[in-house]
């Protein structure tokens, strides 16, 4: 590309101005660089007016715009269908190319293919870059060139392939006057102008919020392995929304985890690095098998006959199952837009194994409420819990919601925070309040007997004579 040409950087789930593959490439190759973000109505349509994710994105976009303006540029912000807005904007600006970071979700792949076709028809190029993962697509494969279906060998191969170059920063230092500022007087769109309203979002947003959370986590990362499963303890990183929307750099996170994992106190960092590799494992699965969005990874399980139980499903969604830890988890999701990772497994197991309800219904509920909702990870996690997915999780392993509560919230601190009806229940009954001589009147009894539900699940899967 000639240095006097112009390029457009299309920001999506990469809302930062540092260590950004697409931005760095455009700055290397083009004389003038425009930056844009589209509030894509193909994605926003149907969302509630008070959506925490849209609020998070809006705040991150405003901070990114301010950061780019400080460098002489800024964001051109549009509201409409990205498949139309980006080609139109490219033509208006007269750019030779549009740079973007790859998104592996099926919708994004179709959208980007449509944008690329429109740009090509107009004599422009669409150039995408690897940015949201260290390794993507089929970069980590078996010796036979096939995708891994089990995490442990995938992680082993991932670590063996990792080299310093994979963690190298994509420098985003523009030359004087290289970034082009949006037209003077063009205001940023407000939430109301794109059809939404401010929410009760509490998490620190944008690049500054991601940096603050990461710095805090690094002060306690050595305890991560011991504390990550306890929802009443500040044990996890709370960075998942920032990973989802790219306000942090995956390369910086992995580099920090790797460095600390090599120290004598590195067990916590190593465990956290494993979680980052899990994320890439599920991204790989989604790329290789986009059919998992609607089908079981193990296709023989598509023949499972799930229960139609609308009342039970509603009770699960609203946190009225009578099992305190499950209810606390569901209420945390509704009240904050986030759920502790251990509780996601417990809640998913309860829906699929205790209530016998299709994992796709639960995955859709999480898609509606989770601030950090990422299709690959959530689909993978739900299928793992349901026993229909990849990896070595057997279908006959069923979480007991009471013993899980006893183990990971022994004093009921988390339960009492989100289920105030149980605030006065003694510790000895907090995990099974129906066993009290006089159970609380304002808290429901269990909607299902776990032991009986377990037998129904074993029979449900056993009828398929599935391999284990």
Q: Active-site positions?
A: 275, 278, 306, 341, 359, 382
**Under a CB-based contact definition with an 8 Å cutoff, are residues 76 and 88 in contact?**
no
CA distance 252 to 273: 12
> CA–CA separation, 294 vs 375, rounded Å?
11
Q: Give residue for tokens 């947003």.
A: 205
DSSP structure class, residue 381: H
Pairwise CA distance, residues 347 & 356, whole Å? 12
> What is the rounded CA–CA span in Å between residue 401 and residue 217?
29
Task: Locate 55 and state its tokens.
Answer: 């609020």
Cα 220 to Cα 199, 242, 268, 274, distances in angstroms? 30, 19, 9, 17
The residue written with tokens 């890439």 in the block is: 280
The answer to whether 395 touches 388, Cβ cutoff 8 Å, is yes
| Cα–Cα distances in angstroms (integers) from residue 449 to residues 104, 314, 350, 389, 401, in the given order | 40, 17, 11, 26, 11
Detail the DSSP E strand segments found in 41-183.
Answer: 75-80, 97-101, 125-129
Among candidate residues 294, 450, 296, the one with its CA nearest the CA of residue 384:
296
Which of these, 182, 191, 212, 171, lies nearest to 74 by C-alpha position?
182
- Of the candidates 273, 298, 330, the one whose C-alpha atom is nearest the C-alpha of residue 149 is 298
CB-CB contact of 422 with 430 (8 Å): yes
Q: Say if CB 252 and CB 19 are below 8 A apart.
A: yes
On whether the CB atoms of residues 11 and 57 are closer than 8 A, the answer is no
**Cα 115 to Cα 442: distance, rounded to the nearest angstrom:** 54
């Amino acid at each position: 590309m000639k240095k006097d040409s112009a390029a457009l950087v299309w920001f999506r789930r990469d809302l930062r101005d540092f260590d950004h593959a697409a931005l760095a490439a455009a700055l290397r190759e083009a004389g003038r660089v425009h930056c844009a973000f589209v509030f894509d109505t193909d994605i926003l349509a149907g969302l509630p007016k008070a959506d925490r994710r849209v609020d998070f994105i809006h705040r991150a976009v405003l901070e990114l715009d301010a950061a780019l303006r400080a460098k002489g540029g800024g964001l051109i912000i549009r509201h409409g269908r990205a498949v139309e807005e980006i080609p139109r904007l490219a033509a208006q600006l007269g750019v030779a190319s549009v740079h973007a970071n790859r998104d592996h979700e099926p919708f994004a792949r179709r959208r980007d293919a449509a944008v690329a076709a429109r740009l090509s028809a107009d004599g422009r190029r669409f150039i995408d870059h690897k940015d949201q993962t260290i390794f993507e697509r089929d970069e980590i494969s078996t010796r036979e060139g096939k995708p891994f279906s089990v995490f442990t060998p995938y992680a082993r191969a991932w670590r063996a392939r990792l080299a310093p170059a994979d963690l190298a920063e994509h420098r985003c230092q523009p030359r004087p006057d290289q970034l082009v500022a949006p037209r003077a007087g063009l205001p940023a769109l407000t939430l109301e102008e794109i059809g939404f309203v401010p929410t009760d979002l509490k998490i620190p947003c944008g690049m500054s919020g991601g940096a603050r959370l990461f710095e805090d986590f690094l002060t306690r990362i050595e305890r991560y392995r011991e504390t990550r499963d306890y929802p009443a303890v500040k044990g996890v990183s709370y960075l998942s929304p920032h990973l989802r929307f790219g306000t942090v750099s995956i390369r910086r996170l992995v580099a920090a985890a790797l460095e600390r994992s090599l120290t004598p106190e590195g067990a916590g960092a190593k465990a956290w690095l494993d979680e980052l590799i899990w994320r890439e494992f599920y991204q790989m699965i989604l790329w290789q098998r986009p059919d998992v969005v609607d089908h079981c990874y193990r296709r023989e399980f598509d023949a499972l006959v799930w229960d139609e139980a609308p009342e039970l499903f509603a009770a699960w969604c609203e946190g009225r199952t009578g099992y305190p830890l499950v209810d606390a988890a569901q209420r945390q999701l509704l009240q904050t837009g986030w759920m502790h990772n251990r509780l996601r497994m417990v809640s998913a197991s309860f829906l699929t194994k205790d209530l016998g309800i299709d994992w796709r219904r639960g995955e859709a509920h999480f898609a509606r409420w989770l601030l950090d909702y990422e299709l690959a990870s959530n689909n993978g996690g739900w299928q793992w819990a349901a026993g229909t997915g990849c990896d070595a999780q057997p279908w006959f392993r069923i979480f007991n919601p009471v013993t899980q509560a006893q183990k990971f919230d022994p004093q009921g601190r988390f339960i009492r925070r989100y289920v105030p009806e149980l605030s006065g229940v003694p510790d000895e009954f907090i995990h099974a309040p129906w066993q009290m001589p006089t159970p609380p009147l304002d808290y429901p009894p269990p909607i299902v007997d776990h032991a009986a539900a377990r037998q129904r699940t074993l029979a449900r899967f056993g009828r398929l004579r599935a391999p284990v």
